[in-house]
Amino acid sequence: MNPIQLFDTESSTYTYILAAPGSDQAVIIDPVERHWERDLRHLERLNLKLAYILETHAHADHVTSAGKLREVTGAKACVPSGCGIPPADQQLSDGDVIRFGAGEEITVLHTPGHTAGSMSYLWRGNVFTGDTLLINGCGRTDFQSGSSDDLYDSVVGKLFTLPDATRMWPGHDYKDQAVSTIGWEKEHNARLAHKSKAEFAKIMSELNLPKPKLIDIAVPANQNLGLPHGA
């Protein structure tokens, strides 16, 4: 049971639609503001009703459409409790389970490191890792309470303990890679496979990435579910 994977070419963000077999309910993960109408049309063509909108974290590189989609569909917006997103309907913690459709379950995994609040979501053998684990890479750890030690523990201590065949769907990809598996990442991920915590910390400390252009706009906006403040 794969999700439907959608892409934003501006920020290279993946959005996922999870459709419950045997029901008309769906969940969307990390929807992007400028695609809210595209995503509504997807739901309409597939004859799906949106039950939940999930965020993996408060993004720094794009603005979410969670608030807009909630307004239009009545779906509940669920966010990591540690991300400072007060207007959400539900603040998620590690181990929480989101239920939708006919017996579908999404398990919430707290996977801090890219941001302190970051969550991954597990559904039917698929894990949605946001910016914690990327295909053959990982999210940066140098802002938003990021921590390379936490990210290492989240990936090596938690995500890599999932079954090898678990499909891994990232929050971004910049190389058209789309999907991987936990087994492949455990063996081949350039930053995390067969690395010690110290080796990983060194790799991350030497990245010297520029400050994301949108961070000062995107993070506050996302902490309000993408809606204008005061609106």
Residue 37 binds which of a second copy, Fe ion, none (CB < 5-8 A, kind-dependent): none
Residue 172 binds which of a second copy, Fe ion, none (CB < 5-8 A, kind-dependent): none
**Element counts in the chain: helices (H) and strands (E):** 6, 14
Residue 1 binds which of Fe ion, a second copy, none (CB < 5-8 A, kind-dependent): a second copy
Look at residues 146, 161, 148, 160 and name the one whose alpha carbon lies nearest to residue 188: 160
Query: Which of 59/70 has CB closer to Fe ion?
Result: 59
Q: How far is the CB of 176 from a second copy (least distance, A)?
A: 6
115, with CB counted inside 10 A (0-12, 13-18, 19+), is buried
Residue 131 binds which of a second copy, Fe ion, none (CB < 5-8 A, kind-dependent): Fe ion
Whether the CB-CB separation of 192 and 138 falls below 8 Å is answered with: yes
Distance of alpha carbon 121 from alpha carbon 209, whole angstroms: 27
Residue carrying the six token digits 């914690």: 132
Query: Which of 101/113 has CB closer to Fe ion?
Result: 113
Q: Which one among 131, 150, 173, 185 touches Fe ion, defined by CB under 5 A?
A: 131
Residue carrying the six token digits 């990591």: 80
Distance of alpha carbon 144 from alpha carbon 161, whole angstroms: 26
Q: Which one among 90, 94, 107, 183 touches a second copy, defined by CB under 8 A?
A: 183
Site size for a second copy (CB under 8 A): 29
Site for a second copy contains 179 (CB under 8 A): yes
Site for a second copy contains 4 (CB under 8 A): yes
Residue 97 binds which of a second copy, Fe ion, none (CB < 5-8 A, kind-dependent): none
**Site pattern 78..117 for a second copy (x: CB under 8 A):** ----------------------------------------
Task: State how far the alpha carbon of 83 is from the alpha carbons of 56, 80, 86, 202, 220, in Å.
Answer: 9, 6, 9, 26, 11
Site for a second copy contains 193 (CB under 8 A): no
By CB under 5 A, the residues from 171 to 230 that bind Fe ion are: none
Site for a second copy contains 5 (CB under 8 A): yes
DSSP assignments along 55-90, one per residue: -SS--SSS-B-HHHHHHHH-PEEEEEGGG--TTSSE
Distance of alpha carbon 106 from alpha carbon 127, whole angstroms: 9
Distance of alpha carbon 107 from alpha carbon 33, whole angstroms: 25
Binding interface with Fe ion (CB under 5 A) = 59, 131
Binding interface with a second copy (CB under 8 A) = 1-7, 9, 19, 35, 38, 41-42, 44-47, 135, 164-165, 167, 176-181, 183-184
